[in-house]
Structure formats: structure tokens, C-alpha cells
Amino acid sequence: MAAETPKTLSLEGWKVYVRSDLREYEIFSEDGPRIIAAEVFYLVAEFEDGSRFRGTDTFSGHAAEYLAELEARAVRDLGELVLDRWMWAAPCYGSEAYCRNFGF
């Protein structure tokens, strides 16, 4: 029988921090469509070689950055990533992982 894939990843050698993106949303009203922008926060875990995972949860609104920082602290305190809540992200530009993944 094949070994089961681990559902967690130890944080040894990793750092966890908060990033943000500006997202655009289209809103429809009686005046017609308009586009608004909102800052959305999320967690990133980065290994020493530049490999990255991105948290699947996002935070928005007036307390979003604070909530994301609390989540990052909780992940660091836990000491591992629960992989069901993380996805692969592009490695840090120019890092060892970047060169390995993109053939430089």
C-alpha cells in the first residue's frame, strides 16, 4: 500500500508573512456598471530557497490587515502549514527555487 501524502508541512526554514493585492470588482446599479478597487490581504509562506505557498483565505475590509496578521501569528505558533488551506505560488524572483522551476 502506498504511503499517504502528509497533510501538514513543518515550518522549519520557512517564514510566514502578510501580502496584499488590489482587486477590482464590477458593481451594477441603476446608474450603470462601475468598477471599484479593494485591497485584499492574504498569507504567504516562503522557504529559504524562495519556494512559496499562498494561503487560500483572504481578508478584506477595515480590519483586514489586522486579521491577516493574527492569522499569520497563529500559523507561526502552530509551527506547520495545514496544506488543505495553502496552494503553490510562484517562487521569489531570482531565487534558487525560481531558477530551478524556470530553467535558469
| Whole-number percent of the chain with pLDDT over 70 | 94
- Rounded mean pLDDT, 16-41: 89
CA distance from start to end of the chain:
38
Domain region containing 58: 8-102
Number of domains in the chain: 1
- Rounded mean pLDDT, 6-12: 81
CA 93 to chain CA centroid, nearest Å: 16
- Rounded mean pLDDT, 74-98: 91
The CATH number linked to 63 is 3.30.390
The pLDDT value recorded for residue 47 is: 94
User: What is the rounded distance in angstroms from the CA atom of residue 69 to the CA atom of residue 17?
Assistant: 8
Q: Is the pTM of this model over 0.85?
A: no
